[in-house]
Amino acid sequence: MKRRQFLQAATVGAASTAVAAPAIAQSMPELKWRLQSGFPKSLDTIYGAAEVIAKFVSEATDGKFQIQPFAAGEIVGTPQVADAVGNGTIEMGHTCSYYYFGKDPTFAIGTALPFGLNARQMNAWLYHGTGNDILNEFYAKHNMYGMPAGNTGVQMGGWFRKEIKTPQDLQGLKMRIAGLAGMVMAKLGAVPQQIPGGDIYPALERGTIDAAEWVGPYDDEKLGFAKVAPYYYYPGFWEGGPAIHLFINQTKWKELPKAYQAILTTAAAYANGDMLAKYDARNPAALRRLLGAGTQLRPFSPEILEAAYKAANEVYDEVSAKNPDFKKVYESVRGFRNEEYLWFQVAEYAYDTFMIRQRARG
């Protein structure tokens, strides 16, 4: 009796193994996708996140899901990434949502709002507020599914050929800045210019523009802005915690096995934290080098910040009145921000303020 039971069990086990192997194979198909980055390879931290994602996914699937990253312009230019993902020219893009402000101002909120969220608050809103869900309702209209896959932390306020002390000093100032931030600066009298990253240096050198914002010390140092614009202002109030997104063609995303969706989501989340950590680790030394080479660090005056804050709120009211999608996402961010600072002003602010004073004492 025992022998018969053993043989029956063995037969059932063999049959289940035979069924399981093809089932596993079907759930782990071999795929090759292309990922168009919005950044050049020279910016190793922000471009490198695409490589981090590709490596993570390949290793987690034993090489069955291959993603090949391409630097900005290798398949399509950065301004065309959203369209290329949406129409299926490429499967994925790693870029800033606000680059597509021209398609719809709502895209800007996916990256950053002037006087919006800092990096930690942005992640909190995306992952545990309504952020990811509400943005993906919007991205779906463009046949894309998005997930956070990077953050630079608060950025610098940019490089200026002359000192800026009051809002009056912004009158007629030609500045490389775009999107909602450009609209805010225009209200203050500046003249926003949309210039690709590779063209900023010669534009500053020739005096075609008077100022330009980019990212922060580590990336800015690579582009050499200090040689042609000595004044380095802070903070970049238009980018308190800008998110970089992984955009996936929505049809392709839905076709992915659940296991691959989970792996890709995890890879993007890892790249999100990894990018911010790299910038936080590399910016201090870069700032020291810039200051040692003669860069003059300047804060935006309270007067400028107050004027910009007022202008930003006017912009949001104007855009919200015309664009229901923008209004819906903006109101979510605004409510979340106000609650976050209720907490941040207690422990976080007190701790950081004390530690900064201690550092100054040596």
Per-residue HEC secondary structure of 200-256 comes to HHHHHHHCCCCEECCCCHHHHHHHCHHHCCCEEEECCCCCCCCEEEEEEEHHHHHHC
Q: Are 266 and 274 in contact (CB under 8 A)?
A: no
Partners of 212 in beta bridges: 159, 176
Does 314 belong to an annotated binding site? Answer: no
Please tell me whether the peptide bond between 299 and the residue prior to it is cis, using omega within 30 degrees of 0.
Answer: no
Q: Where do we find the tokens 């610098």?
A: 156
What span, in angstroms and rounded, lies between the C-alpha atoms of 207 and 276?
33
Q: Where do we find the tokens 């719809």?
A: 104
First to last CA, the chain: 83
Partners of 299 in beta bridges: 234
What span, in angstroms and rounded, lies between the C-alpha atoms of 78 and 81?
5
Torsion (CA) 114, 241, 53, 248 in degrees, nearest 10: -30
What span, in angstroms and rounded, lies between the C-alpha atoms of 97 and 223?
23
How do 296-299 and 174-176 pair as beta strands? Answer: unpaired
Does 213 belong to an annotated binding site? Answer: yes
Does 176 belong to an annotated binding site? Answer: yes
What span, in angstroms and rounded, lies between the C-alpha atoms of 20 and 27?
11
- Extract the annotated binding site for substrate: 155, 176, 213, 239
- Extract the annotated binding site for Na(+): 214
- Extract the annotated binding site: 155, 176, 213-214, 239
